[in-house]
Amino acid sequence: MPVTNLVGENERLDEIERLSLKDKDVSNDRHLNNVTELGCYLTEKPQCTVNLLTDKSQLSKNNHGFSIPEQILVKEIPRDISICQYVLQQPREQLVIENVREHEKTQNFHKMALAPDIQFYAGTPIITSKGFTVGTLCVMDSKPGSLAHERREGLRLLSDQVANILEFGSLKPSHTSDHETEEEKTLEASFYSSASILFTDFVGYTRITENIDPGELIESLDEFFSTFDRIIEKHQLRKVKTIGDSYMAVGGIPDGRQGHPENACKAALDITKAVCGLNIKREVLGQSPWEIRVGVHTGPVIAGFSANGFDIWGDAVNLASRLESSSEPGKVQISEMTRMSLGDGAVLSDRGEINLKNKGPVKTYFLQQMAD
């Protein structure tokens, strides 16, 4: 049954309007991405979402653990058929339902068409500085369960962070293009505790430039780099810049989501395959093939905009560059940190320790294949 006669409902809705929450796109906000992912880790539940509760709708503003079809379904649903609406009846307290099919408020939930398979639900109110509950931070599971007190407290602390982010946080743009606005260019640099940096360059580029017309050189670089751009976009990385024949991209910025080591490695392999394909065409046209080296490293960086546009800085960037320059033609060399981030999802050959310029002995691997 829909909740009715909520005390202070008009004032609560005014608070949502004051903060412009309905139209604020935080679906890929770095800080909220971290919160929803941490909510799953903390509770050991597979799904976590930040929901806004308006007068008519429940809007999923940011979530983790949902498939693409599920994300589409939960993006907006009528509030009257949501579980989160019951948090509004006691807007300062958590609502934990250990078995949705047996709880008096939700026992008919699964009789609705297209109802998600939620068996466990824990919703924590998101309370603004003025004391209004504007939504919920909730975790869900497809099987019944429970939540220990300390984990409930952890969710409460996370919901406080969500409220601060929505109300006071500096929500940076989740997407930027090659033509950043003046506002984006003046954004302060931010520290990212984990990002994956990808470097490429062409073997013997100096020799290539000595034996090719300038027009053909530019045309060839453009063909290769435009192909790399499409691969980078496909794997949700961000292009940083090109310098001569070098191409640089990064994963995990600005969204902060996990999975960027896998994305960077998949992109690296696709780049080597694309170069092979383009070289076949070049040979048919009577042009010399270009060989490529690739390096990938995962570590902390500082990222932001300077007068020259978007860039990243830090020792991790230098190490990624060294991995690329010490790689072999047609191969992707990755660091130990990236290897650990991949888990069992990669086929590797152990290269052992190699001496990198200004780094000393570093353990590295050649990446051969990534699981789909």
For residue 21, give the CATH number of its domain. 3.30.450.40
Q: What confidence tens digit (pLDDT) does each residue in 315-371 have?
A: 999 999 999 999 999 999 999 999 998 988 799 999 999 998 888 899 999 999 998
Q: Are 252 and 283 members of one domain?
A: yes
Would you say residue 74 has pLDDT above 80? yes
Would you say residue 184 has pLDDT above 90? no
Does any domain span residue 357? yes
Q: How confident is the model at residue 169 (pLDDT cuts 50, 70, 90)?
A: low
Would you say residue 173 has pLDDT above 80? no
Does any domain span residue 1? no
Q: Which ranges of the chain would DSSP assign to H, the alpha helix?
A: 9-18, 30-43, 68-74, 149-167, 182-185, 205-210, 214-234, 260-284, 315-325, 336-342
Give percent of the chain with pLDDT exceeding 90. 72
Q: Are 139 and 76 members of one domain?
A: yes
Q: How confident is the model at residue 188 (pLDDT cuts 50, 70, 90)?
A: low
Q: Are 298 and 268 members of one domain?
A: yes
Q: Are 141 and 224 members of one domain?
A: no
Does any domain span residue 174? no
Q: How far from 195 is each of 271, 299, 350, CA to CA, in Å?
A: 19, 6, 23
Average pLDDT, the chain: 90
For the chain, the domain total comes to: 2
Domain boundary among 144, 167, 190: 167
**Contact in structure between 312 and 197 (CB atoms under 8 Å):** yes
- How many C-beta atoms lie closer than 10 Å to residue 127's C-beta? 19
Q: Are 115 and 29 members of one domain?
A: yes
Q: Tell me, what's the pLDDT at 186?
A: 43
**Contact in structure between 232 and 249 (CB atoms under 8 Å):** yes
Does any domain span residue 133? yes
Q: Are 149 and 217 members of one domain?
A: no
Does any domain span residue 76? yes
Q: Which domain holds residue 359?
A: 182-370
**Residue 191 burial by Cβ neighbours in a 10 Å radius (0-12, 13-18, 19+):** exposed
Round to whole Å and give the CA distance between 372 and 345: 8
Q: Are 201 and 334 members of one domain?
A: yes
Q: What are 109's two structure tokens?
A: 């939930």
Does any domain span residue 3? no
Q: Are 187 and 148 members of one domain?
A: no
**Contact in structure between 256 and 31 (CB atoms under 8 Å):** yes
Would you say residue 182 has pLDDT above 70? no
Round to whole Å and give the CA distance between 294 and 251: 15
Domain boundary among 125, 143, 167: 167
- Partner residues linked to 248 by β-bridges: 199, 241
Q: Tell me, what's the pLDDT at 318?
A: 95
Closest CA to 4 of 80, 76, 103, 112: 80
